[in-house]
Amino acid sequence: MSLRTISELGPLAGTRVIVRCDLNVPLKDGKITDDGRVRASVPTLTTLLEQGAKVVVISHLGRPDGAPDAQYSLAPVAERLSELLGRPVAFATDTVGESAASVVDALEDGQIAVLENLRFNAGETAKDSAERVVFAQKLAAFGSVFVSDGFGVVHRKQASVYELAELLPSAAGTLIEAELTVLEKLTRTPEKPYAVVLGGSKVSDKLGVIGHLLPRVDSLLIGGGMLFTFLAAQGHKVGASLLEADQIDTVKGYLTEAERLGVQIVLPTDVVVASKFGADAEHVVTAADAIEETPFGASGLGLDIGPDTAAHFAEVIRGSKTVFWNGPMGVFELEPFAAGTRTVAEALTQVDGLSVVGGGDSAAAIRSLGFADDDFGHVSTGGGASLEFLEGKHLPGLEVLGWH
């Protein structure tokens, strides 16, 4: 792995260091509901602060559409960061305006500030690279070196991820280093048996991962909404369950290819079918090939894998040395349909080897179900970035740091 790291930036005492973190956390009524990404940013920030750097943190939050929007302010994140670091964190109420300039100017050695949401500026995500460069130049004026540590955005060509790294001496933070170490194990040197567990709503989101990993894995376990497209590809009726009919032929191709490669694709044998989408819905467990034979008929919705499937998935997971999991097994936010996801998560904590939770909804699921990050070998902070890495795609935010 060739990647510029913080140690290559030289002594940083007294140096203004701009750090691109991924502090894109879920908020409800102005409160953070899952601070996993904030906690993940702490090691790099602590390393820099202990060296005596003046640290300027930049991040996005949500999709405010290029203009200030109070509901997407990073103020609650700065507050939480202060608690986690055990030191004051100054907050600028704009990104590259007067507040940012004065807050940055006031920083002394070993002090830290957070600038307001990058996406309050249209230049951050502009399609036109010239617009992005203009915004990146304004950001670059706040520091003399740049540390990229927002793994969740390295698959995006955005001003604070790509152009800023070209304008200043740049390196990866410890979070990105850790993510890449794990992802390289998953793609290049996985210990066998190797199981990949895929869930989430759409099979189309995971097609690239399936295609790229199929020759490398021993077992591919399919749950979540995407399982119904697999069932349909086998000729089963799926009621009103989520179905991507345009992907059925592609899925048939993967089933054939898996058979040729000797890879075990493990599909659910039973599912939890509900009368409607809601925590109060009537629901029954039925065989995966009998979804329309429940009392709900063709209007039945599959919302979770069944208990027999969950137990079998858990057995395969526990018997593997390397496990990568991305995507919940069902609608885990609704308690009647959380059991499959909970069982899979529990099994991952018992792997005698490397267990990786692939960010995004999977990371949110384990925390909401009461698991801690350190119950697993690694919890990724970047769902989309992890998947694109595992698809073998080029990630501009890494390549600009010398990674190849």
Catalytic machinery residues = 37, 202, 360, 384
Say if residue 301 carries a ligand binding annotation. Answer: no
CA-to-CA dists, residue 211 to 257, 284, 396, angstroms: 9, 33, 22
207 carries a ligand binding annotation = no
What's the count of helices (H) and strands (E) in the chain, helices before strands? 14, 17
Confirm whether residue 156 is marked as ligand binding.
yes
Q: How far apart are CA 93 and CA 83, in angstroms?
A: 19
* Beta strand 270-274 pairing with 264-266: unpaired
360 known member of a binding site: yes
- Rounded Cα distance, 323 and 354, in Å: 6
Asked whether residue 29 is marked as a ligand-binding residue, the answer is no
Is 361 annotated as belonging to a binding site?
yes
d(CA 91, CA 238): 51
User: Is 4 part of any known ligand binding site?
Assistant: no
Q: Is 359 annotated as a binding residue?
A: yes
Q: Please indicate if the annotation marks 121 as binding a ligand.
A: no
- Beta bridge partners, 146, equal 18, 170
User: Are the beta carbons of 239 and 291 closer than 8 angstroms?
Assistant: yes
Residue 279 burial (CB < 10 Å; 0-12/13-18/19+)?
Answer: exposed
DSSP helix/strand/coil, 179 = helix
- 3-state DSSP assignment of residue 53: coil
Residue 161 has which token pair? 């991820």
Instruction: Please tell me the total number of residues recorded for the chain in this structure.
Output: 404
62 known member of a binding site: yes
63 is in an annotated binding site: yes
Question: Is 61 within any annotated ligand binding site?
Answer: yes
Q: Residue 363, class by beta-carbon neighbours within 10 Å (0-12 exposed, 13-18 middle, 19+ buried)?
A: buried
Q: Is 342 labeled as ligand-binding?
A: no
| Ligand-binding site membership of 398 (annotated) | no
Helix/strand/coil for 56? strand
Tell me the binding residues for (2R)-3-phosphoglycerate: 37, 119, 156
Annotated binding site for substrate: 22-24, 37, 60-63, 119, 156
Q: Which residues make up each annotated binding site for ATP? A: 206, 302, 333, 359-362
